Amino acid sequence: MNFRELALSQAILDALKVEGYTKPTPIQEAVIPLLLEGKDVMAKAQTGSGKSASFVLPILELLDQRRGEGKKAKIKVLVLTPTRELTLQVAAAFETFGRYLAVKPKAVAIIGGESIGDQLYKVQQGCDVLVATSGRFLEVLSKKQMNLSHIEFLVLDEADKMLNLGFSEELDGILEAIPAERQNLMFSATYPQKILDIASKITQKAVEVSIEDETETVANIKQRVIEVNRDNRGPLLRHLLKQEKYGQVLVFMANKRATDNIAMKFKKYGLSAQSFHGDLDQEERNETLQAFKQKKIQVLFATDIAARGLDIDDIDCVVNFDLPRSPADYIHRIGRTARAGKSGHALSFIDYESMAHFKLIEKRSEVTLKREQIEGFELLGEAPKKVKGPAPVKGKGKSKKDRAREKAAQEAKKN
């Protein structure tokens, strides 16, 4: 199938061509026709599947078909996303694919870390599409200076990533502010009960689309598990960068401070590295991301939160310097490489302490991977012995008083 068969207008086809999109991905093939028919859609899809274009393209098409003559733009589309980066990417996608339309749609991103006044000003200048993180959107909404009565499309992108952010309550406030009659679309990598509850809040009549491309993506990723002592992970990574000649590398770490420290160390060794975490302000994040995309930075050390939703092509290798806490995040992390049909590498560093956790990850991801050791970086020491016997029970130990009494008795015996 090609994009022309999906009944998109020439202006959109031209933009697709410029962007190098030759063939729709499975999610695009499934979702685009449904949205063009005016259906609500609930889609199970991952980042990397091409899901952004699957809603951006048909919405642009419908906006274009329903465009009135010479009127000031009204907000017709609201997209909610879990992160600032994803918000910016989706807003950019609307502009990129809409740029050859007779009336270019305007998309405004509403994200934390930037002035509300500036964002409101942009909205009031007239825009067709609002892309926002939900918390910030509510803040802007509370100023009561936006007209949301023309909203025709509501999109929840990466809904599963919004769950832990108190999203369900926020959504209630947002739904109250927009028209009940609208087309709804939701994307989520998983559909636990909480997500289904959210889905039922926004629509009762959605067509369900499930694209099992997760395994397809993972099939293109060469996964390796390397046993190495904690302190040797940095030197091993430098060694592998040199030996394997990886291009762009995204390294996941457990905490912010560690990403700063290691990025500094790598720079000392003459490598182009940078850290990426939630403590950076928005401008620093944008700059770092831009530099990484433009390959001015080769190695990006990131925390999970910061890396969520990043849309970067050409990541050659994803490294689990620290394992993800949740086994589900493993697939999500390594899916950052091998995007849109390319191949990629994923390395996980494990030591005695994380071995059991990695087994869990394998079970959950339905893979069994060979453990490797790299010459010169072998895992030393021994596995910590399991503690034998029952663990001490709280409250059953000797009290201070008892110990004092025993001591006194012993002293008395001695005398």
Query: Applying CB under 6 A, which residues contact ligand AMP?
Result: 21, 23-25, 28, 47-53, 311, 313, 339-340
> Among residues 28 and 133, whose Cβ is nearest to ligand AMP?
28
- Conformational region of residue 341, where left means phi above 0, alpha means psi within -120 to 50, and beta covers everything else: left
> In the bound complex, what is the minimum distance in angstroms from residue 86's beta carbon to ligand AMP?
8
Q: Compare residues 27 and 350 and give the one whose CB is closer to ligand AMP.
A: 27
Contact between 207 and 34 (Cβ < 8 Å): yes
Encoded amino acid at 82, one letter: P
Nearer to ligand AMP, 191 or 352 (CB): 191
Least distance to ligand AMP, CB of residue 115, Å: 28
End-to-end CA gap in the chain: 98
Q: Which two tokens stand for residue 337?
A: 């490489």
When the beta carbons of 44 and 233 are compared against ligand AMP, the nearer one is 44
Q: How far is the CB of 74 from ligand AMP (least distance, A)?
A: 26
| Interstrand relation of 153-156 and 77-81 (parallel, antiparallel or unpaired) | parallel
Tell me how far, at minimum, the Cβ of 275 lies from ligand AMP, in Å: 23
Helix (H) or strand (E) holding 379: none
Q: Identify the CA nearest to 127 among candidates 194, 63, 178.
A: 63
Give SS3 for 15.
helix
**What residue number has its CB nearest to ligand AMP?**
50
Q: Which two tokens stand for residue 115?
A: 């002035």
Q: Nearer Cβ to ligand AMP, position 215 or 373? A: 215
- Cα 7 vs. chain centroid, distance in angstroms? 30
Phi, psi of 194 (to 5 degrees): -60, -35
For 352, the enclosing helix (H) or strand (E) is: none
* Closer residue to ligand AMP (CB): 218 or 323: 218
Least Å distance, CB 67 to ligand AMP, is 25
CB of residue 386 to ligand AMP, shortest distance in Å: 43
